[in-house]
Each structure stands twice: as structure tokens, then as C-alpha cells.
Amino acid sequence: MHISIIAIGRMQRGAEHSLMTQYLGRLPWKHSVTEIEIKKQSANTVERKAREAEKLLAAVPAGATIVALDEGGKALTSRALAAKIDDWQATGAHDIAFIIGGADGLDASVRAKAQLKLAFGSLTWPHMLVRTMLAEQIYRAWSINAGHPYHRD
């Protein structure tokens, strides 16, 4: 299994980066973080999201299962996310790409290609913190699926 986190914007060194790296480092799965910076920003939100979508989708490994982090997505429990990942693995998925858009969210073209649209609740989260929270949930999903004790049991 290979986990990709593909996001708009570059994460600076600091607490969020350190935690993200720590959680991803615990995974037995291969993983990568692709950060996309768009130098020339468009003043038009629709154009900006379309340009971001083009870059995000180009970074997705061929044949990957796509999970779009989207405020309009499903707010799954950790167990439900673990079950989704387990199901994808059982049906032959080798790559899962988690996509995090820019400040204005994801273009409809990204959401249309996603097998799952995932929300971290209805609150607004800083993009860099979302990466850390996502890394923790991916690690938690692996841990649940590996049979490690889960504090909610």
C-alpha cells in the first residue's frame, strides 16, 4: 500500500510538520507528501481552483483511489475510515491519494474523480493542521485494521 497526501501550499518546519512526519513515520506503508505551490495566483476564484485542480490531479499516482478532503464530504468515524481503507486494500487498491485543496476548497473536477469525499467536521481548519490530522487518522486506521487496542473499545 502507498499513501499519498497531495496538497496545495508548502508546509513550513514547525509543530504541525513534526507531528505529521511522526505519524507518517509510524506507518508500515510507503507514503509521500506532495506539496504544490502555484506561483502566479489568479484573482478569479474559479480560475484559481481550476489551476489547482489540474496540478493536484496530475500528482495523483495512476490508478490510485482518490479521497478528496472537502467540507461537504462525509464526516466518518475513525473506525469507518479504517473500514474503507481495509475494503479498498481487500479489493486490490495499491495506492490511496488524499487531496487537500487551497483556501477556496476543491474544484468540482477533483470532487468528481474522488471515490470518497471526506470532511473533518463542519469547522474550518488551517490547511497545515489538516495535514497533521489526516496523517494521524491514516495511522489510526492502519492501527485499527492491524488489531491494535483501540481506546474506544
- Whole-Å CA distances, 122 to 4, 75, 96: 24, 9, 24
- Is residue 75 one of the residues assigned to a domain? yes
Indicate the helix (H) or strand (E) that contains 5: strand 2-8
- Is residue 152 one of the residues assigned to a domain? no
- The pLDDT score that the predictor gives to residue 126 is 84
Q: How far is CA 123 from the centre of its chain?
A: 17
Q: Say which CATH number the domain at 25 has.
A: 3.40.1280.10
- Is residue 153 one of the residues assigned to a domain? no
DSSP 99: E
55-95 per-position pLDDT tens digit: 999 999 999 999 999 999 999 999 999 999 999 999 999 99
What phi, psi does 103 have (nearest 5°)?
-60, -30
Q: Can you tell me the distance from the alpha carbon of 71 to that of 15, in angstroms, rounded to the nearest whole number? A: 24
What phi, psi does 120 have (nearest 5°)?
-100, 55
- Is residue 78 one of the residues assigned to a domain? yes
What percentage of residues in the chain have a pLDDT greater than 70? 97
Q: Is the pTM of this model over 0.85?
A: yes
- In this model, does residue 150 exceed pLDDT 80? no
Domain total in the chain: 1
Q: Can you tell me the distance from the alpha carbon of 42 to that of 40, in angstroms, rounded to the nearest whole number? A: 7
87-121 per-position pLDDT tens digit: 999 999 999 999 999 988 999 999 999 999 999 98
- Which domain covers residue 134, as residue numbers? 2-145
